[in-house]
Chains A and B, each alone.
Chain A
């Protein structure tokens, strides 16, 4: 069965430094997608970045980049130049294929709470 593991319940980082949030996944399907979402204390889910299993390049979106190591089944999120507003829960998620042949469902990890210190 597909599974997402985030082994860091909490992380601390100094403002303006970079931080890496870990995510490993398990799937037997060669086609899948990996997402990172941010959930601030206000509760909404904010999409950050996406990596497809067949993408040749690591995904980047502004200060966010995804360190995708397919052989190790890891998809770590790197936040460069941390800001106080980056303090939030971060969830890694994998889209798995559905039985109907489409890609419907997201499986989420338990999340990592990031605190950015001034």
Chain B
């Protein structure tokens, strides 16, 4: 049971480089989310997609873009990486807006920007 799969698991970038974090879910969920987790803090929402074809900003969207490629996949792009974006990134999915079911999380991507 794969659930939510994130790639890569680890990545080191130089300031100014770009990269895309990939996320795929096999639970037929409608909604998908990207969070970041910084030391000593809870997760903060970057972007979310309530359903295929829609995306919306979360709490900390600056410096990121997202693409909901299809129902299964939701990618997060850093166009010009900055040291402040060093963090652990989590992708999550849930059945739909309004569902009492929990969000299911991937294992995270540890991203370091030098």
List residues of chain A with CB under 8 Å of any chain B CB.
4, 33, 35, 37, 43-45, 47, 50, 52, 91, 93, 98, 100-111
Can you give 26 contacting A-B residue pairs, CB < 8 Å?
Answer: A4-B42, A35-B102, A35-B103, A43-B88, A44-B107, A47-B104, A52-B100, A91-B42, A93-B42, A98-B50, A98-B56, A98-B97, A101-B97, A102-B98, A103-B97, A103-B98, A104-B33, A104-B48, A104-B56, A106-B45, A107-B45, A108-B42, A108-B43, A108-B44, A110-B40, A110-B41
Interface 0/1 of B74-105, CB less than 8 Å to A: 00000000000000101010001111101111
Counting CB contacts under 8 A, is B5 at the interface? no
Complex CA–CA separation, A98 to B45 (angstroms):
13
Q: Which secondary structure dominates where chain B touches chain A?
A: loop
* Closest B residue to A99 using CB positions: B56
Interfacial chain A residues near B56, Cβ < 8 Å: 98, 104
A104 contacts B50, C-beta separation under 8 Å: yes
Q: Which are the 3 A-B pairs with shortest beta-carbon distances?
A: A102-B97, A108-B42, A45-B105
> How many residue pairs, one in A and one in B, have C-beta atoms under 8 Å apart?
64
Q: Which secondary structure dominates where chain A touches chain B?
A: strand
List residues of chain B with CB under 8 Å of any chain A CB.
31, 33, 40-45, 48, 50, 56, 58-59, 88, 90, 92, 96-100, 102-105, 107-108
B102 contacts A100, C-beta separation under 8 Å: no
Complex CA–CA separation, A95 to B33 (angstroms):
13
A109 contacts B102, C-beta separation under 8 Å: no
* Closest B residue to A46 using CB positions: B105
B40 contacts A104, C-beta separation under 8 Å: no
Complex CA–CA separation, A108 to B59 (angstroms):
11
Complex CA–CA separation, A110 to B107 (angstroms):
19
Residue in contact with B107 in the complex, picked from A33, A43, A109, CB distance below 8 Å? A43
